[in-house]
Amino acid sequence: MKYLFTFIMALAAAGTLLAQTFKMPPYQKFKLKNGLTIYLMEQHEVPLINVSAVFDAGAVQDGNRYGLASMTAQALLFGSANYTKSQIEEKTEYVGASVETFAGREVAKMTASFAVKDQDLLFTIIQDVVTKPTFDQTEFDKYKQRQLLELTQQKETPRGVMGSYFNKFVFDSHPYANPLAGTPASVSAISASDARQFYQKNFTTDRAAIAIVGDFDTAAMKKRITDLFGGWKTAAATSPVADVLARRARDGDAGAFSALVEHLQPRAVRFATQMTGAARDDVDDIVQDAWIRTYRALPRYDTGRAFESWYFTILANCCRSLRVRLQRLHLRREPLDDQLRDDTLDPLMATGTRSDVARVHRALATLPAAQRETFLLHYVEEFGYEEIAVITGAGVSACKMRAKRAMDAVRELLREDTSDD
C-alpha cells in the first residue's frame, strides 16, 4: 500500500508538472481574400489529417424555428453538387475516413479525419460538402421524420429532456434557451428550403474558420486550401446589433458602450435573477460588476466571437462569485444560535444524548476556524464537499478531513460536557 500511494503521488506530481510546462505547438494562421480564416498545425507523429470547419451558425441563430441550425448542419451531408448522400458515405467508409456535421448552441461544425494517402479524395469531398450542398428534398424529409421520432422518444425519459428544460429555466428568453434539436412543432414546420436559406445567411466566410492538424507540409497545405476555398463566395454576414456596438466601443466610442448596456440590460437582469435568486439590489450589483469587467476586458474582445456569448459568460461567472461571497458572509455574520436549529442536530445523535444548542455552541467555539466553517457548511448548510471546496478555497480531500475531525471533536466535547453535568 505504501508503494502504491507513492506511485500515485508521483503520477499526480508528473501530471501537474506537465500541465505547467505545456506549450501550444507552433501553428500558422492566415486569412483568404474572401475572409475565411485558416489555421494549420503540423503534427507528424501519425500519418493522419484532422479537419474542423466552424461556422457562426449555432442554435442561437434559430429565432423561433427551434432545431433549424441542427437540421441545416446535418443536411450538409445529404448531397452536394458532385456527390449524393450515398456516394459521400460509401467513399468515406471505403477508406476508413469520417466526415461529420453537427450544430451546438453557438456554432455549427464539420469535422473530418482521414489518412494522408486519402487526402486528395477527402479534401475534394469536404470542399463540395461545405461550399455546394444541395439540401436534397427526399433525404431531408427522411431525416425530419427520424428527428420527430427521436423527439417523441426523448419524452419517455427525464434525462432526454432535462437539458432543454434546464436551459429554458436558466436562460428564459435568451437564445441560449433554444432547444438544440427543436420541438415536434418547430421541426415539423422546417423544410429543406428553410435549411438552404439558413445556410446562405449564416455559413459565410467572414464568420468561419477551418483548422487543419496532421501530417502535412504547411506550404503545400496552404496552397491546397487556397485553391479549394479561395474562390468561395458567400453573402456577408449580418452582424448582430451587440456585435456592431461592441466593435465600435472597443475602438473608443463611449456612446456605443452606453448603447450596448442599454441594449442588453433587461436580459442581463433577468439572467442574473434566475441564476442567483437574489434580491433586485443584489442583482443590479452583479450586473454592474459584469459590465465593469466587460469594459476593462473590451480591448481583448475577439470580434470573431458573438459579443452576447462573451458578455453572458462574464455575467455567469459574476453570479457564481457573488453566491460564494454571500455564503461566506452568511456564515460569518449569522449568530451561531440562529444557524443551529433543532432539526440540524441529527448528525450529533451518535453520542446517544440529544445535545441542546447551547452545548453545541460551546463545543464548536473550541474548534479551529477552518474546521468550524467546514462543519457548519456541511452539516448545517448541507453543502457537498465540492461546493465547500469552492467556497473555502481548500481541496475536496481537505474539506472531508476537516469535517470529520470537527465532528469527532464535537462528539468528544459533548460527551465530556454531559459527564460534567
Q: How far apart are CA 68 and CA 77, in angstroms?
A: 15
Residue closest to 319 by CA, chosen among 259, 269, 388: 269
Which strands make up the sheet holding 108-115, listed edge to edge? 28-31, 37-42, 208-214, 48-55, 108-115, 98-103
Residue with cell 474572401: 34
CA 292 from centre of chain: 23
| Total count of residues recorded for the chain | 421
Other beta carbons within 10 angstroms of residue 243's beta carbon come to 22
Please name the residue that has the C-alpha cell 460509401.
Answer: 90
User: Any long-range contacts for 342-350 (C-beta under 8 Å, 24+ apart)?
Assistant: 344/379, 344/380, 347/379, 347/407, 348/410, 348/411, 348/414, 350/411
b/e map 278-301, b = 16+ CB within 10 Å = beeebbeebbebbbeebeeebeeb
At 299 the pLDDT is 82
**Helix or strand (DSSP H, E) at 213:** strand 208-214
pLDDT in single tens digits along all 421 residues of the chain: 444 444 444 555 455 555 556 678 899 999 999 989 999 999 999 999 999 999 989 988 888 899 999 999 999 999 999 999 999 999 999 999 999 999 988 889 999 999 999 999 999 999 999 999 999 999 999 999 999 998 888 877 776 667 777 777 767 667 777 888 888 999 999 999 999 999 998 899 988 999 999 999 999 999 999 999 999 988 765 567 788 788 888 888 878 888 888 888 888 888 888 877 777 777 888 888 889 888 888 887 776 667 888 888 888 877 876 665 555 545 444 444 444 444 444 444 334 344 455 666 677 778 887 888 788 777 766 677 776 776 666 778 888 888 888 888 877 776 765 555 5
Helix axes 137-154, 158-171, angle to 10 degrees: 90
Structural domains for the chain: 28-229 (3.30.830.10), 241-331 (1.10.1740.10), 335-420 (1.10.10.10)
pLDDT recorded at residue 112 = 96
Residue 140 has phi, psi (to 5 degrees) of -65, -40
Q: What are phi and psi of 189, to 5 degrees?
A: -90, -10
Position 400 scores a pLDDT of 86
Residue 251, number of CB atoms within 10 A of its CB:
10
- Could you give the dihedral angle defined by the CA atoms of residues 404, 406, 409 and 414, in that order, rounded to the nearest 10 degrees? -110
